[in-house]
Chains A and B, each alone.
Chain A
């Protein structure tokens, strides 16, 4: 079992997400995250999917997705030669006694304070997913009130693009 990242350009149309997510469930693929957003071309959206599975599952997923008419470009993104980013917003309990300590942790990770209340602090942290994992792990003892993560986005370094 390995972690794979797949990048896709898909038609910017109603129902595309349903087609793609439906394919995952129908063929029994387990995905860890899926992000979708606009691109420089209004007709296309970009999706990044992360999955854990065997090479067989990765190959099948790539081929089955490629068959969908709405999937215009698709390839596996090698994380070692790509820029991989995820964003997390974490709301942590921070009573006056803990506050300094929590801020030190955040500072070490380069997280930004985006909200502060009498009992909580909200951090915004962007980075590679494993960095976000460690950051969240270290905040847990203080009490995470709620959090959200965007899922990974990834883009190749250099002149390489998704387009063949």
Chain B
């Protein structure tokens, strides 16, 4: 069957099980959009307000569903608008397929209208990329790109398709659904060494990252933790690796982590790290971090072993397989002294957690949402103080229900991500955002409204860029350079102007009432929560410092 490049693209996506893509039309993808029009009953397209929003939506879709996210944009500015989303997916290992149109091959390299070398622009931030110049290679390129994006440590793959390649015809034949590349087999000898190290440890600590936040690993991690009496701390990306209710779970550790989690990590004699890359936000002072302790690091990506922290034992392989092998050979061992120590840390945390005297605190807001949300509702965040408070306080019940921009720290990530999560799950999608982050991509409210998505935007409005302000308070002598916004935006009216519902809450009662209405409406809602501009994220370990410098409160 002879098909054009544009038809081949759509047929191959459908063949491989893609039923939803996010995007924005334009001159260089008109032929692809024409095919989308003709195939509207077979593949759903969600149009965003801006290509960046589409890219984040594809990320949110991928992370809420565990499937590949697909985003489509035109050449030039359409393509460059995807860049932040691609970089974000790269740092958070999100499987993303970005498809861009480009000018015709005869015009490539001549600075044609809306021409950008998007393959060149994105080299450092993709897992792989292609510019397809021969239509005969298009279908297999798409299939290979999907394999690369989802195999091993997932990541973004870009396919750039010049306009004439979309128009050219070639024979097309459907193929089977691709299978992912085999994971590298783990070294069995290392399992015995790990088992020995675990047996010798008196104070083991399990440290989970984004690579551990997989449904298929959750049970094994918990079983292992119970078997050896190890507490579990997570990175921000690893928050969904275990349910918040699990008794050995201490929550996020590191710069703004829970005291008990961070303290247990420092006090441990063995860290068993799983799918985590020891970011500077988690480790602080690296020399003090690994003092008096051994580290076992299990990761699918060999390049992460001993990259940021030198480890005693690195095992490359699929976490579930490695963990099952270790679990099988590990003898159950109870550690009452260590557990008692953990309880002490917990007690200290409970007694010393700083709660501000304001009438509506950040924790009040998150507690209220925890009380009303469905356990399967995807929770997304933007970037800033609200993200850290959410990381500390949000109750995660299932993997794939916590979606945040951990590595790149993209302000403006949340609106797209929450839209993608709503599309993927059909459930009420919750977005925690701040007035700063929301301001970056609030245009996507239009998308949520036109798609009539069940989306509750919980907006922390403190009128300032709170996270930066906090650093300015602590480390820059209260010189609030460009962080006091003075915007006077009426978010209720703004929501209404977009066709969404708007609510304002300044105390617990008005918040409960607003949340009740918002969650019942099953449509886009913005709940503006007024909080004090001097609320801080605590505890905090100042950058580059260790637990010795941990602050439970400031002043």
A-to-B contact residues, CB < 8 Å: 14-15, 18-19, 22-23, 26, 56, 59-60, 63-64, 66-70
Complex alpha-carbon distance, A64 and B302, angstroms = 9
A69-B148 contact in complex given A59-B306, A60-B307, A64-B303, C-beta closer than 8 Å? yes
Closest CB of chain A to B318's CB: distance in Å?
Answer: 16
A63-B119 contact in complex given A22-B124, A26-B124, A69-B127, C-beta closer than 8 Å? no
Closest CB of chain A to B149's CB: distance in Å?
Answer: 11
- Report the interface size class on chain B: 10 to 19
Residues in A neighbouring B148, C-beta threshold 8 A: 69
Is there contact, CB below 8 Å, between A56 and B306?
Answer: yes
Closest CB of chain A to B117's CB: distance in Å?
Answer: 10
Residues in A neighbouring B477, C-beta threshold 8 A: none
Nearest B-chain residue to A21, judged by Cβ: B123
Closest CB of chain A to B181's CB: distance in Å?
Answer: 10
Is there contact, CB below 8 Å, between A67 and B303?
Answer: yes
Is there contact, CB below 8 Å, between A66 and B127?
Answer: no
Closest CB of chain A to B154's CB: distance in Å?
Answer: 13
Nearest A-chain residue to B301, judged by Cβ: A67
Question: Can you name 14 A-B residue pairings with CB atoms under 8 Å?
Answer: A14-B131, A15-B123, A18-B123, A22-B124, A26-B124, A56-B306, A59-B306, A60-B307, A63-B303, A63-B305, A66-B302, A67-B301, A67-B303, A70-B128
Nearest B-chain residue to A14, judged by Cβ: B131
B336 at the interface (CB under 8 A from A): no
B357 at the interface (CB under 8 A from A): no
Nearest A-chain residue to B304, judged by Cβ: A63
| Given A69-B127, A69-B128, 15 other A-B residues pairs in contact with their CB atoms under 8 A | A15-B119, A18-B120, A18-B123, A22-B123, A22-B124, A23-B124, A56-B306, A59-B306, A60-B303, A63-B303, A64-B303, A66-B302, A67-B303, A68-B128, A70-B128
B-to-A contact residues, CB < 8 Å: 119-120, 123-124, 127-128, 131, 148, 301-303, 305-307
Residues in B neighbouring A23, C-beta threshold 8 A: 124
Nearest B-chain residue to A70, judged by Cβ: B128
Nearest B-chain residue to A18, judged by Cβ: B123
Complex alpha-carbon distance, A69 and B149, angstroms = 11
Residues in A neighbouring B127, C-beta threshold 8 A: 69
Residues in B neighbouring A60, C-beta threshold 8 A: 303, 307
Closest CB of chain A to B32's CB: distance in Å?
Answer: 23
Closest CB of chain A to B116's CB: distance in Å?
Answer: 15
Residues in B neighbouring A56, C-beta threshold 8 A: 306
Nearest B-chain residue to A23, judged by Cβ: B124
Complex alpha-carbon distance, A59 and B307, angstroms = 9
Complex alpha-carbon distance, A60 and B127, angstroms = 17
Nearest B-chain residue to A26, judged by Cβ: B124
Residues in B neighbouring A66, C-beta threshold 8 A: 302-303
Closest CB of chain B to A69's CB: distance in Å?
Answer: 4
Complex alpha-carbon distance, A22 and B131, angstroms = 18
Residues in A neighbouring B306, C-beta threshold 8 A: 56, 59
Closest CB of chain A to B534's CB: distance in Å?
Answer: 39
Is there contact, CB below 8 Å, between B301 and A19?
Answer: no
Residues in B neighbouring A64, C-beta threshold 8 A: 303
Complex alpha-carbon distance, A69 and B303, angstroms = 14
Complex alpha-carbon distance, A26 and B90, angstroms = 14
Closest CB of chain B to A76's CB: distance in Å?
Answer: 15
Complex alpha-carbon distance, A26 and B123, angstroms = 10
Residues in A neighbouring B305, C-beta threshold 8 A: 63
Closest CB of chain A to B105's CB: distance in Å?
Answer: 12
